[in-house]
Amino acid sequence: MQMLNLNHREDFETRLSTKKKIKEALKDKDISIIGICGMSGIGKTTMAKEIVNEVKDEKLFKEVAFAVVSNDPDISKIQDQLGEALGLKIEEKTNTVRAGRLCQRVEGNDGKSILVTLDDVWNEIDLGTIGVPSPHDRKGLKIMFTTRIEETCSKMKAQRKFEIEVLDEKEGWQLFKDMSGISDDETDDELVSMAKKVADECRGLPLALVVVGKALESNKATYKWSDALLQLQYRATNLDGMDDIVYNSIRLSFNFLVSNEERDLLLLCSLFAEDENIPIENLVQYARGLELFENTETLSQTRDRAKIITDNLKGCYLLQSGREEDEVKLHDVIRDFCLKMATKDKCGYLVNHAGLEEWPEHDTDNSCSAISITFNKLDQLHSGLKHRNVKLLRMMCRKLGRCNNFEEFFEDTKELRVLELKLMNIQIPSSIQLLTGLRTLCLISCVIHSQLSMIGSLKKLEILSFYCSYFSDYCPIELANLSNLRSLDLRFLELSCPLRPGILSSIKKLEELYLGDSIPIEGEDQRYIIEELSSLTFLHTFQISTLAPILMQLLKASFLENLEKFQILVGTTQRGRFENFLDFLVDKTHQGRFGHRYITRSLYLEDGIDASMLLQPSLNTLMKRTYHLRIEANKVLKNVVSDLDGNGFINLKTLILSNGDFEYLIDATNAIPNATFGKLESLKLEDLPKLIEICNGNIPGVVFKPPLFCNLMTIQMYVCEAITSLFRESVAKCLVNLQRLDIAICSRLEEVVSTDTQGNEVTKTCEMIEFPKLKIVDLTNLGRFKSFTCQSNSGDVCQTLFNKIFSFDHISIVNTIYKDRYYKESYTLDREISIAC
């Protein structure tokens, strides 16, 4: 994940010296708790993350874990972050039990060294409540935390405290030049003089230097620099602890944004909790509902505009990249600024994600244009929401509870344009019919007890989502009245809300349709609803999950060819592990039959492929266009390319084969289509008892454009008991982008790369086989494994794991467990290899 690097330059002496002292303290056996403090925007988080990465690379600790605490700590979220870093999936519901599980994991690590880093700690936090034992009681455990409040170091009983200082004048000027594009060769003396004054006004604060520098990047107009200096010299009041130079620098960058659309979208990001990964898709839904963007008729145009704006904001360092490609994050200091800016408007924001038990008090009932609140468990609401100017309302709960007294809630909120409710047990009030201007309605992971027919009166709705909610009745026919809908998400919990015929054909403007399990499994209704899809001429995104393989016969190839994005799952349900739908609803990790919430081009086939399906034109169309393919529990297919896509899967990026009778991916003894698997990036093979080889036969001498597997970065192979070698040399030579190789529980595997053969003759080679990007190799429980290749003149086939005909430039980790033997080899290449049982 790209982060906002407030130190930016690793060679700054002020940073290097502090980092060195912190690392020395981490090595000191008598020091177990370390505090890093400093003002907001000074670079505490950046420093902590750099240290974590360095001690991980230097193997100073066996394990490292990092979690963000923030001003409103969410204990469950902190536990999840630490558990994920330590390879622990915490499924328990109560924080006390979860803390016990996490504590058991930390304590039960056989005394191995562990570094736990807690970022952005505002007040003293009880480590035991989280599940972190006292480092005084657990040998090898160290705690490092960051805080903007020096007193917190004492409260947290830090044995060493390190204060991050501002950059000195020389370092500050260098960072500012890097950001603003002022070169050492600049001939305009007046511009350089003015730039130095602006840089000096940033007072060595990295955040200020970065955002101000980026705002003025490549700008040669001295009057703009003069105005920037004036803005930075303004002394704001009532900043609630925020340093004035931090506030002024962010305000300057905010004012330099080219459009109100950029400013409004940035302010929307502050509605999310601190350090939260913000899905761009949520911003699209809010922007569409609030009509923020001009000249965006379609939802696709709104999405494109939102992506352009988020890219621009990241370029200005006002936004960061999020955990996933389609997410962004807001630096906590910039978030504070945005909330202050929103409050200055006539209609500000009411934002609270502390986990409230009741509705918060607010100064003026009519003062809010946007409300975003997280409750711990909401059982009671006051009679009605009095914020008459509110246009956007987000309400979320951490625990599912029955929310009462909801009936009159929307009577005085007729200006509402966006409504999102998440993890709430509710009865839709009749007062929702008064929201005639509502354009976006999202009920996410909710239990809905009342009829949904009243939603049919919301004629301006453009986005309607019931993602992962539960409603035990048919979809109301009144949804057919929503003629302005652009996006409809019916991914209710499994089979809880079947769709009726006649609805889809009435919503002619639909661009995106997520059906989930809402189509009946059989009967005339199923056929009629599938036929309705052809009438949706604007539809470009489609998702469906079904138990019925006949779907592949009903879907028309012409319909599928017009889709830009799709996700189609045919096969068995994965919900069986949940005792009831409420468990499924609150489970944080479930993907279930819905897959990822936001889709690309994905096809999942489980337990449903027979010979007749292979002949369907719809399947052939999907195979040519899909990016992500998963096939499970199939006993019909033997050869992936020849059986499924004779064109060679030229667009495929991810391939997962599990629990089937596949023998090969490719049969090179027959003709191979050009560009076969040319875009494949990830390959996972699991529980394939009949798999003999990835590629049967040698790759012919002809040049493939692109070469076979040339973009493959990750290979995972587990429980494939028949295979003896993974690749032949001719295939291995194509793997120039391979970065990770994981193989486990393949009892007959003897080598990773085997020699090519001509008939029954082994082809000898002296050519070097290069893996220039291979970084991680993990070989586990391989009973017959001998070597990376068994080509060796030595009688001892295990004399070396890697033979000299291979070139590895960047390997950083190799964990190898086989034959209950311990190997440790030394290499002169730029790599570190640890081989252990």
The predicted pLDDT at position 828 comes to 30
Element (H, E) at 54: helix 44-57
Handedness of CA 6, 11, 17, 23 (dihedral sign): positive
Least confident window among 13-27, 47-61, 791-805: 791-805
Is the per-residue pLDDT at 797 higher than 60?
no
The string of pLDDT tens digits covering residues 287-302 is: 999 999 999 999 999 9
Can you read off the two tokens belonging to residue 253? 């960058």
Largest distance between two CA atoms of the chain: 86
Q: Does domain 13-163 have CATH number 1.10.10.10?
A: no
Is the per-residue pLDDT at 825 higher than 60?
no
The predicted pLDDT at position 366 comes to 61
The predicted pLDDT at position 304 comes to 96
The predicted pLDDT at position 578 comes to 39
Q: Which pTM was predicted?
A: 0.85
Is the per-residue pLDDT at 486 higher than 90?
yes
Report the chain's C-alpha Rg in angstroms.
29
Average pLDDT over residues 63-91: 91
Residues 6+ apart with CB under 8 A from 332: 40, 70, 120, 274, 275
Can you read off the two tokens belonging to residue 8? 């930016």
| Per-residue pLDDT band at 701 (split at 50, 70, 90) | low
Residues forming beta bridges with residue 717, ordered by sequence position: 685, 743
Q: Where are the beta strands (DSSP E) in 466-571?
A: 487-489, 512-514, 541-546, 565-570
The predicted pLDDT at position 802 comes to 52
* Dist. CA 445–CA 524, nearest whole Å: 30
Q: Where are the beta strands (DSSP E) in 600-642?
A: 601-606, 628-632
Type of residue numbered 369: S
* Dist. CA 774–CA 430, nearest whole Å: 60
The string of pLDDT tens digits covering residues 386-409 is: 788 899 999 998 887 777 767 778
The string of pLDDT tens digits covering residues 329-338 is: 999 899 999 9
List the one residue out of 328, 326, 325 whose CA is nearest residue 268: 328
Handedness of CA 107, 108, 109, 110 (dihedral sign): positive
Can you read off the two tokens belonging to residue 396? 């979320």
Handedness of CA 756, 758, 764, 766 (dihedral sign): negative
The predicted pLDDT at position 823 comes to 36
Decide: helix, strand or coil at residue 244: helix
Average pLDDT over residues 645-653: 86
| Per-residue pLDDT band at 516 (split at 50, 70, 90) | confident
The string of pLDDT tens digits covering residues 563-575 is: 999 999 887 544 4
Cα distances from 285 to residues 268, 299, 420, 450, in angstroms, run: 11, 9, 10, 25
* Dist. CA 526–CA 519, nearest whole Å: 6
Handedness of CA 639, 641, 642, 643 (dihedral sign): positive
Angle (nearest 5°) at CA 467 between 465 and 470: 110
The predicted pLDDT at position 577 comes to 38
Least confident window among 86-95, 646-655, 810-819: 810-819
Decide: helix, strand or coil at residue 609: coil
Instruction: State residue 654 phi and psi, 5-degree precision.
Output: -130, 135
Handedness of CA 432, 433, 437, 440 (dihedral sign): positive
| Per-residue pLDDT band at 636 (split at 50, 70, 90) | confident
The predicted pLDDT at position 733 comes to 86
Instruction: State residue 736 phi and psi, 5-degree precision.
Output: -75, -15
Encode burial over 412-431: b for 16+ CB neighbours within 10 A, e otherwise: bbebbbbbbbbbbbbebbeb
| Per-residue pLDDT band at 4 (split at 50, 70, 90) | low
CB 376 within 8 A of CB 355: yes
The predicted pLDDT at position 581 comes to 47
Helix count and strand count (H, E) for the chain:
23, 36
110 vs 735: which has the higher pLDDT: 735
* 3-state SS, one letter per residue, for 153-205: HHHCCCCEEEECCCCCHHHHHHHHHHHHCCCCCCCCHHHHHHHHHHHHHCCCC
Average pLDDT over residues 760-764: 51
The string of pLDDT tens digits covering residues 194-210 is: 999 999 999 999 999 99
Cα distances from 151 to residues 34, 46, 124, 156, 268, in angstroms, run: 13, 21, 9, 9, 33
Q: Give me the helices (H) in 626-744, please.
A: 640-644, 729-732
Instruction: Note if the bond before 706 is cis, omega within 30 degrees.
Output: yes
The predicted pLDDT at position 143 comes to 96
Is the per-residue pLDDT at 1 higher than 80?
no
CB 304 within 8 A of CB 280: no
The predicted pLDDT at position 763 comes to 53
Is the per-residue pLDDT at 172 higher than 90?
yes
Is the per-residue pLDDT at 286 higher than 50?
yes
* CATH fold label, 169-255: Helicase, Ruva Protein; domain 3 (1.10.8)
CB 542 within 8 A of CB 516: no
